[in-house]
A and B are shown apart, each in its own frame.
Chain A
Amino acid sequence: MLSANEIRKVVQERNQHQKGTGKKVVDVREEMERLEAAGEIVIHRIRPENRPVEVSTLFGWKKRIPTDRLWHHKSCGQCGNIPGYPSSLLWLMNETGRTYLNEPHQTSCTAWNYHGTATSNPVALAAVAARNFHRAFETGHFPLIHCGTSYGDYKEMRKLLVENATVRAKVRDVLGKMGRELVLPEEIVHYSEWVHVMAPEILARQKHRVEGVVATVHEPCHYYKMVPEDAVYDESIYAGQRPAVPSGILMALGAKVADYSTWYDCCGFGFRHILSEREFSRSFANLRKIRPMVEEAHADVAITSDTGCVTTLDKSQWIGKAHGLPYMLPVLSDVQFAALTMGAHPYKIAQVHWHAASAEALMTKMGIDWKTAKAEFREYLQALKNGQAPELLHPAHGEIETFFAINKGQVLPDEAPAAPAGAGGRSR
C-alpha cells in the first residue's frame, strides 16, 4: 500500500531517473495553452456559468470542478448493468438545480474493450475521446465523465494528444473527415469529483441520517493510478494520504468510514476477466476485498465510484456462498448512497434491484421504508406493462435524434416547459 506521500516520493524518484530519458511529469494544462496559442487545438474552457469549485490534486495543483451545464459522458457498464448509478446522478442534479444534457450522441470511451481484448490502439482511443470532447463542446456543455476507466483513459489520451504531434495530426485529420475539430477540455472531470464538491448542497438536503452506518471505500484503480497527478486529494480526508473521493461525501454525510487492510487492491474486474474468466474476478473480489471489509471493518456497505468496481464487488458475492464466504455485503456507488440519504426512491431512482447483494438491511439501518417503496415499484412495473408512460428525469428526445447528432428534441431541465406527450411526469 502506498500513501500519497509515498506516491509523491515514487514520482520524485521517477523524475530523477527520467531526466536521463527526457521524460518528466508536467502539468499538461500549461502545454495546452501553448498549443492553443499555436492554433493546434481548441481548449474547452470552464466558464462562469459552469459554476466551478476549486480543489487540489496530488501535487497540490489546483483543479476546477464545473458543477453546472454539464454533458453526461455515460458509462457503458453502468447503463447496461447497474442503471441506478447514472439515474441517481441525474436525480441529484435535478434536486440541486443543475442543468445538463444526457444525449444519444455519445460513444463509450471504448477503453474497456482495449484493456480487455486490445482490439484497438492509442490513435483510435484518442480519436474516440476527441470525438466525444468535440460533441460536448459544440453543445456548450462541459463533459462530466461517469466511468473511472473513461476518466483514466481520457486523462491518458489528453496527455498523448498534447505530447505527441504525430498522433495529434492523425486525430485532427480523422476528426476533420467528420466535420469536427480537435478540442481538449481544460479539465478531465470525474462525476465523483462533482459529488465531492457538491457535498454541502447534498448535506443540506439529507433526509436520512447515516451516523450508524459503517462504510468501507474501494478506491477505483483507474481513478488514481492512471495519470495520478490529476486525482483529487484533500488534507482533511485521510490527511491527504488517499484520494478524497469518494470518502469525502460519506464523511460529510456522517457515515463512519472504516479502514481495512486491502484498501489499495484492485477489485478484480480485469476487463477481460469479468466477462470470460470470472473465476479470477470472484476469487479476488471475495477473498481480497469483501472478506476484509466484513471481517476487519464490520462494514454495513461498500462504497465505490466506478463501473467495474461496483459490478465486480457486488455481483461476485452470490457464488461466495458455495465457498464458505456468505457475506452479501451491499455494494453501492457514492451517488446511489447520496441519493438514498436525500430521499430518492430506492427502486425507481437508485434502482437497487439490479444489484446482487441486497441493500434492504442497509436501508432499514438508514431509516428508509423500502418495503413500501418496493410495493410501489411493483405496482409501477405493472402499470408500465399495461402501457403507462414511464416517469422520466428529463424530457424525452425527439425521433430526429435517433439519426442525427443534434439536441433539438431535448431541452435543459431548467428550460423545460412541460413533459412532452408520451413522456410521463418527473420521477421522484
Chain B
Amino acid sequence: MTIVAHLPQRALTLTEEESAAPPAMELTGRRRASPEERALSETIFAEFHADPRYHEFVLGCLNCGECTTGCPAARFYDFSPREMLQIAETGDATTLWDALQEKIWACCQCYTCNMRCRFGNDIAGIISVMRELSVSHGVASTRKTLAPFGRSLTLLMTVGTQVSSDMIQPDFFRDWGPFATGSDRAWGVGADIMRRAIPSDVLQTTRSSWEVSVQTSLELFRIYEETGVLDMLRGLDPDLTEMLIDIIEERREEFEEARERFRTELEGMSGPVATFRG
C-alpha cells in the first residue's frame, strides 16, 4: 500500500466558499489573510493600478535578470527587483499584499536596477509606490517596520532635516565605535562644544543638521499640509501627527510674535518674507 492511500481524502471540486478562501498556508510560505486584510489588499491593489505612475514605471519584463544581478539587497535578503516587477504586473491582489509585508522594505533605492533595465522600467519607483500605499493605509507590518523612525520623522516634519547630531547617540550607534560621534569620549568636552568647533554658525546646533529659520520650517509644513503628506502620516501614526500639528502651532505663534517684534526691520521688504503667514 502506498503512502498516498493513507492521506486524507479531499474533494476535487471546492465549494464556492472554499474557492474564495485562500489556503491557510501556501507552498510559497505565505500566511492566510484575514477578511479585513483581504478587503484592504483589494483596495490597495486597485489604488496601485490606478496610480498614474503605474503605466509610466512598469513597461514590461523580459525576465533577463539584469536588474537582480546588480541589486545589493538581493545579496542579503529574500528579494529581487525582477520578482518585484513581476509582482507589480500580477493581477492578484494577494500577491501584492504579501510583498507589502516585508519585501518592499528590503530595497535600497540605489536605482542600480533602473539603470540596467533594457525596458526602462522604474523598479525603484514602483517599489516606492507600493511603500506609499502601505504607509497611507497604515498596513500593520509597515507600522512595525517604521516604528523606529518617530524621532527622525519629527525632525523632518518640523524643521526639514533628517538627522541631528544628538540623534547619533553612542548607545544606539554602538556598532559605529567610540569615535564616530565626534563627542566627549575622545576629546573631553561635550557634544555642544564639538558642534561649536564647526566653523559655520548655521551648523553649530545639536538639535538639527543646521539651524532652520522658523519661516522656512513653516513653509515646509504648509507643503506637507497641501500635498497630502500629513494625511499619509495619519495612516501610519495618528498620535505622532497630532503632536506635529501642536509643535507647528507653537511655531506659528512664535513667528507672529517675531513679526511684531521685528516690525521696523521688516518694513519695506517684499516677497515671501512680507507676504507669508504661517
User: Interface on A for B, CB 8 Å cutoff?
Assistant: 2, 7, 10, 13-14, 17-18, 21, 23, 74-81, 83, 86-87, 90-91, 102-108, 110, 112-124, 127-128, 131, 135, 138, 152, 170, 173-174, 177-180, 221-222, 225-226, 228, 264-266, 268-273, 275-276, 278, 280, 282-284, 288, 314-316, 318-319, 347-349, 351, 353-356, 358, 377-378, 380-382, 384-385, 390-394, 396-397, 400-406, 408, 423, 427
B239 to chain A, nearest CB (A): 15
Question: Does B25 lie at the interface of the complex (its beta carbon under 8 Å from any beta carbon of A)?
Answer: no
Of chain A, the residue at the smallest CB distance from B269 is A406
Of A225, A272, A394, the residue contacting B105 (CB under 8 A) is A272
Q: Is the CB of A81 within 8 A of B168?
A: yes
**Segment of B13-21, B87-95, B202-210 in the binding face:** B202-210
With A119-B236, A174-B222 as contacts: A401 and B128 at CB distance below 8 Å? no
Q: Is the CB of B128 within 8 A of A105?
A: no
B151 to chain A, nearest CB (A): 10
User: Interface on B for A, CB 8 Å cutoff?
Assistant: 53, 55-56, 59-60, 70, 72-73, 75-77, 105, 108-112, 114-120, 128, 131-132, 134-135, 145-146, 148-149, 152-153, 156, 159-165, 167-168, 173, 175-177, 179-182, 186-189, 193-204, 208-217, 219-220, 222-224, 226-229, 232-233, 236, 254-255, 258-259, 262, 265-266, 269, 271-276
A22 to chain B, nearest CB (A): 10
Q: Can you give 28 A-B contacts (C-beta < 8 A)?
A: A7-B115, A10-B116, A10-B117, A18-B59, A23-B120, A104-B210, A105-B212, A113-B162, A119-B229, A173-B226, A179-B275, A180-B272, A221-B112, A225-B111, A266-B108, A266-B110, A315-B176, A318-B176, A353-B182, A353-B186, A356-B176, A356-B180, A380-B197, A381-B188, A381-B197, A390-B199, A392-B200, A406-B273
B258 to chain A, nearest CB (A): 4
Of chain A, the residue at the smallest CB distance from B108 is A270
| Residues in B neighbouring A272, C-beta threshold 8 A | 105, 145
| Residues in B neighbouring A401, C-beta threshold 8 A | 213
| Residues in A neighbouring B276, C-beta threshold 8 A | 178-179
Of chain B, the residue at the smallest CB distance from A224 is B115
With A81-B165, A284-B75 as contacts: A107 and B197 at CB distance below 8 Å? no
| Residues in B neighbouring A384, C-beta threshold 8 A | 189, 193, 196-197
Q: Is the CB of B223 within 8 A of A124?
A: yes
Q: Is the CB of A104 within 8 A of B59?
A: no
Q: Is the CB of B199 within 8 A of A393?
A: yes
Q: Is the CB of B189 within 8 A of A74?
A: no
Of A2, A113, A280, A403, the residue contacting B258 (CB under 8 A) is A403
Q: Is the CB of A127 within 8 A of B180?
A: no
Of chain A, the residue at the smallest CB distance from B147 is A276
Please provide the 9 A-B residue pairs with the shortest distance between their CB atoms, ordered closest to farther.
Answer: A107-B160, A318-B177, A118-B131, A76-B161, A179-B275, A80-B163, A179-B272, A354-B182, A266-B110
Of chain A, the residue at the smallest CB distance from B59 is A21
Of chain A, the residue at the smallest CB distance from B265 is A400
Q: Is the CB of B180 within 8 A of A104?
A: no
Q: Is the CB of A396 within 8 A of B176?
A: no
With A225-B111, A405-B272 as contacts: A177 and B202 at CB distance below 8 Å? no
Of chain B, the residue at the smallest CB distance from A277 is B105
Interface centre among B75, B128, B152, B198 (most CB of A within 10 A): B198
